[in-house]
Structure 1
Amino acid sequence: MEIETVIGDAAYSEKENIKYSKTNNIKLVTKLNPSITQGNRKKEDEFNFNKDAGMYVCKAGHMAIRKARQGKKGQGRNQTDTYHFDIEKCKRCLFKDGCYKEGAKNKTYSVSIKSNEHTEQANFQESDYFKGKSKERYKIEAKNSELKHRHGYDVASSSGLIGMELQGAMAIFSVNLKRILKLME
């Protein structure tokens, strides 16, 4: 079977799947996990980047005093740039509520560096091909829901891999038979 495109949800966008699809010339239509594209913080918690200084600036206008890269390159996990702020300024800051924790010895702001695979996938997400194919995903979800809720494919009714395979084959056979009968009408 020749596979050109795989459509899935964000759970399928891990780096190994992206590498596999690229190696095997498969288009992977799956949105990157939001923690990769936007990070784990809310919009109001984000700092602004000053391009001229190459440093982040907090809401109060205080610039980071140094930057450090964390994580090893090529270890499977993305590296991060960690920006360190002057803790004495943070202690007296008007915006310290929710930003500075009383008694903290330092204040940092970390930004994940996207791998080449994640950057390429993020660019692919913006393409017309990706947007067109991702609109078809609801059909797959509807079929999965039908299999689970109407044809017993949600919980294994017997133990063992053979029993599960048989249950899956029967559920899929039933759904396909229903589809064939409907198309014949």
Structure 2
Amino acid sequence: MAASANGKPEEGFCYNKDAGMLQCPAGKLAMRVEKRTAKNGNTYLRYIFSKVKCRKCPLRESCRVGRGKSKERSYSITQASEKNLERLKFE
């Protein structure tokens, strides 16, 4: 699973407001999004992309979307909790 920790997608990925989904550098939209909570209290959005579409993509070799054996490819964007945002101010 690829991830971005600053609350914004990495370069090439963008949020498509019309579709309400993340779009990859190749222009493919995520199939769905899941909101999850990590052990440290941060929430993150896990965007799920089609394994079939990723397999055929010309940008596959340089892509940041995960490549595990699962049926899906995912990309996560962490949203820091208030507690962790306060901690980061002092680091």
Instruction: Flag whether TM exceeds 0.5 (same fold).
Output: yes
Matched to 1:58, the amino acid is: C
Question: Unpaired segments of 5 or more residues in structure 1?
Answer: 1-34, 126-185
1:48 aligns with 2:14: yes
Distance verdict in 2 for CA 1:90–1:110, change over 3 Å: same
| TM-score, structure 2 normalization | 0.68
Supply the RMSD in Å over aligned alpha carbons. Answer: 3.2
Distance verdict in 2 for CA 1:102–1:69, change over 3 Å: closer
1:97 aligns with 2:42: no
Separation in 2, partners of 1:36, 1:111: 6
Separation in 1, partners of 2:40, 2:80: 11
SS in 1 for 2:53: helix
Q: Select 2:31's aligned residue among 65, 75, 85.
A: 65
Separation in 2, partners of 1:89, 1:61: 11
Mapped contact 2:7–2:79 kept (Cα < 8 A) = no
Mapped contact 2:7–2:78 kept (Cα < 8 A) = no
Identity of aligned residues (%): 31
The residue that corresponds to 2:77 in the other structure is 111
Kindly state the Cα deviation for residue 106 of structure 1 after the two structures are TM-superposed: 1.8
Question: Unpaired segments of 5 or more residues in structure 2?
Answer: none
Kindly state the Cα deviation for residue 36 of structure 1 after the two structures are TM-superposed: 4.8
Which structure carries more helix by proportion?
Answer: 1
Distance verdict in 2 for CA 1:69–1:92, change over 3 Å: same
| TM-score, structure 1 normalization | 0.37
SS in 1 for 2:62: coil
The residue that corresponds to 1:37 in the other structure is 6
For CA contacts below 8 A with separation 6 or more, give which structure has more relative contact order: 2
The residue that corresponds to 1:26 in the other structure is none
Kindly state the Cα deviation for residue 37 of structure 1 after the two structures are TM-superposed: 3.3
